[in-house]
Amino acid sequence: MYWLTLSGLGLLAALTLINLLKTLKGDDVSAAWRLDKDSPLDPLPEPPPSLSIVIPARDEAANIDACLTAAFAVDWPGALEVIVLDDRSSDGTGEILARWAAREPRLKVLEGIEPPPGWMGKPHALHRAQRAASGEWLLFLDADVVIDPLGPRRLIGRALAQGAEMASGLGALEVQSFWERVIQTRMGAIIALGNPLQEVNDPDKPQALANGQCLLFTRTAYDRLGGHEAIYNSVLDDVDFAKRAKAEGVCFRLYFAPAVFSCRMYTGLAEIWSGWTKNLFPALGYRLSVTAWVTTFLFIFTLLPFVLVLKNGIIWVMGGAINAPHLILELLTAGALLLMDAVGHHRNGYRWGLFWTFPLGMLFVLLIFLNSAWRITSGRGAVWKGRVVEAGRKPKVD
């Protein structure tokens, strides 16, 4: 048992050090999938296509002004319109939209209605909003997104250059509060590591991911995929669109796109907890077996070394004997994880000095995974913006 445990710790340390070396080496995302400030602008056709930016807004008084300011500052050479559906907001969103509509003729404001039975709120809002759009390209943005002035040119230009009819981007994640820095940055890293762009963009690979914060279609491709009617009951409409694109042979691209848009997803612990609770179990296909595998994997490779170091610390304080080879491997692994986290944070513009919160952040990530599975399988569902979603959804049995 001693040698088995030592071998396991050695393997864990070796794998962690390999990942640390990859992190120190730098980002290996291909230039083909990158849209950052240094990426050249791909040419647009002449005449340039028309563009409709479509935004759902439910209780977005804190965000909608900045979202629209950015949308109307877009440097787009063709016809541009912005369509916002106010999904029965109760926080002043409607009044802000009315002021915008009074001074901006390119803005169309629509009023939301209660979704029909079976429909999720966001797909229904976007389904109704896109019917008022006249653009050859449809760019669906969340109301907390701030689009870069050159964002649509970068995204559409690259999509056209690569023959894509649908595209999405992983934009710049804005974090401001303590809990955003602790949880959001680690959650984003897990999603990125679990979805390599070379696999997501390979039509022959099953890996499918899109980001509903920024989802682009040609009108032809959107209609061919069945629009939001085809995914009317999905809480992960973006991922389901990516899956449909691969299944239907629609050329789709996902980009690392910090120069396309930025987004502050959640503003604190309560929103982080609720928002990811509605997303994580669906992202794992409603499968308890997959949830168990993912959480076990994450625990072993992110938290176990810290648990073991803590255990040895308690033994030492109580005057017990410490196994030196075990402790050395545990400290080496934990230190490599903290260094890897600090380097990743620094590279992405986050506060690298919060590397010490890595175990705390990963603990919350695991708890949210488990809470998402429990809330949905128990029938309680998740609560988001006053709506209960995913209630009564049955888990899939392998």
pLDDT at 296 over 80: yes
Mean pLDDT of 379-391: 78
User: How far is Cα 366 from Cα 356, in angstroms, rounded to an integer?
Assistant: 17
Beta partners for residue 374, in sequence order: none
The DSSP output letter for 47 is S
User: How far is Cα 269 from Cα 164, in angstroms, rounded to an integer?
Assistant: 37
Residues 6+ apart with CB under 8 A from 70: 145, 146, 147, 148, 149
**Percent of the chain whose pLDDT exceeds 70:** 96
Domain 39-267, CATH: 3.90.550.10
Lowest mean pLDDT among 7-11, 84-88, 217-221, 339-343: 7-11
pLDDT at 50 over 80: yes
Q: Would you state the pLDDT for residue 226?
A: 97
pLDDT band at 29; cut points 50, 70, 90: confident
pTM: 0.91
Lowest mean pLDDT among 64-73, 85-94, 311-320: 311-320
User: How far is Cα 306 from Cα 337, in angstroms, rounded to an integer?
Assistant: 10
Q: Are 228 and 113 in contact (CB under 8 A)?
A: no
User: How far is Cα 168 from Cα 217, in angstroms, rounded to an integer?
Assistant: 9
Residues 6+ apart with CB under 8 A from 313: none
pLDDT band at 290; cut points 50, 70, 90: very high
| Exposure on the CB side of residue 227, measured as CA atoms within 13 A | 14
User: How far is Cα 303 from Cα 322, in angstroms, rounded to an integer?
Assistant: 20
Alpha-carbon distances, residue 232 vs 58, 122, 128, 236 (angstroms): 18, 9, 12, 10
Q: Would you state the pLDDT for residue 398?
A: 58
State the maximum Cα–Cα separation within the chain, in Å, rounded to a whole number. 78
pLDDT band at 19; cut points 50, 70, 90: confident
pLDDT at 98 over 60: yes
The segment(s) of the chain belonging to CATH 3.90.550.10 are: 39-267
Q: What are phi and psi of 268, to 5 degrees?
A: 180, 180
